Amino acid sequence: MAVIRRYLLAFAFLLLLERPAPAKTDLDLVVNSLYQSGKGGKQVYDGSGNQSLTLYEPVLYINSQIDHNTSIFGSVVFDALSSASAKAFDQGTGASRPASDASTGASGGESDEKLFGGWQTRVGAELGYSKKAGTWVFTPTAGYSHELSYNSVHGGMNVQKFLAEDNFVLSAGYFHFSDKSRPWDVQNSKFSAFKAKTTNSVNAGATQILSEKDIVLAGVSYTEQTGFLEGTRNTVSTGTVTERALERLPGSRGKWTANTRYVRSLGERTAFHLDYRYYADNWNIRSHTWEPSLAFSFAEEAGTWRVFYRRYSQTAAKYYGDSFPAVTAYMTSDSDLSGFYANEVGAQAAYAPETEGGETAWEYGGTAMYYRRSNDLSALVLQASITAKF
């Protein structure tokens, strides 16, 4: 689903916990779980529309504060994904069966990966370095991700400039992704060769402290993608349920975003946040996201919790259709590219008690949110976090 991207869930939660760090190392274990259901998936191979999905994802974050101006951080992730629609695809095409199973003709002798106990798995790692030099902060990052039909290598650089006694901050970044997808050839019942996809993204933003009670943030970004942009398993109906073909999409896509956040203190222990994001691309998708939230502190600011509501709406891509009378140059039935609106509610909490010496040795956190959208898809996301500081 477009709104909840797997390994970004944990990172979003870490932003809630972010605090100035002393010279020490933090180990943060975040465990994500996602339960998704829905019968409206027009892209599902067997025509059932079944988009049920279960995801378990532990992520280990490491942050080492070398000195006041330098830190090294990273993460390691392993997740396991069980998808009803993917299972139907696998059983119907043999896409994830071992190469030794000659009855499927699955790979023509290639060494395809098996599912891990019936689950598809992914591993990934991220590494970053942050250096403050005067009023500048430079943060290069790099990462790698591998799964059955998708590989990604990426890197980038973010730069910040602090002005007006740190009351005004400018930021800019550039990120590059070199990815490869291996689609399943429905007609020939085997994996195709890996196909390249390149993503380049630039962003710029500013943060201004308006008063003792008000902060405003704003940013813009542009992302360009070229290469193989189809899903590796998305299909479209080209007649009857049994007459399906892989989706076809253009080899380029441009995306623009603009976002803003306003934060207002309502007292010593309460703050109001309002976020808005506008998105547009050259596939004719336009979307709006509104997110008001309230944040509270407790236990003499050792703990925080936040409740939020998110409203999202988008128009359909110009290549979208529930079905197609025949194979066309471009066609997709991916429910993420259809027109829909969605509502999400959730709560987050974090608690970092101090020891007798005034140090914080452990930090605990959790998230629960429920998501539902108009084209028959819903999800429950649960998350737990424990951080050791030493």
Residue 237 bridge partners (DSSP): 244
* Mean of the per-residue pLDDT values of the chain: 87
312 vs 358, residue with greater confidence: 312
From CA 148, how far away is CA 89, in angstroms rounded?
A: 14
Residue 92 counted as domain residue? yes
Residue-level pLDDT at 343: 98
Of the candidates 186, 232, 234, 229, the one whose C-alpha atom is nearest the C-alpha of residue 43 is 234
Q: Assess if residue 1 is contained within a domain.
A: no
Is 23 a residue whose pLDDT tops 70? no
- Is residue 125, in this structure, part of any structural domain at all? yes
Predicted confidence at residue 360, as pLDDT, reads 77
pTM of the model: 0.87
Q: How many domains is the chain partitioned into structurally?
A: 1
- Among all chains, which residue has been given the structure tokens 């800019």? 172
Q: Domain containing 92 — which CATH number?
A: 2.40.160
DSSP state of 97: S
Q: How many CB atoms lie within 10 A of CB 108?
A: 11
Q: Is residue 103, in this structure, part of any structural domain at all?
A: yes
Q: What is the pLDDT of residues 251-263, one digit of tens each?
A: 999 999 999 999 9
Phi, psi of 95 (to 5 degrees): -60, -35
pLDDT of 95 reads 76
Provide the residue range defining the domain that includes 96.
8-389
Residue 99: pLDDT band (50, 70, 90) is very low
Q: What would the two tokens of residue 267 be?
A: 């007292």
Decide if 246 is inside a domain. Answer: yes
Query: Does residue 2 fall inside a structural domain?
Result: no
Residue matched to tokens 């073909």: 245
The residue that leads in pLDDT, 83 or 62, is 62
Rounded Cα distance, 68 and 132, in Å: 8
Closest among 54, 57, 58, 59 to 34, alpha carbons compared = 54
Is residue 184 one of the residues assigned to a domain?
yes
Q: Structure tokens of 206?
A: 């500013």
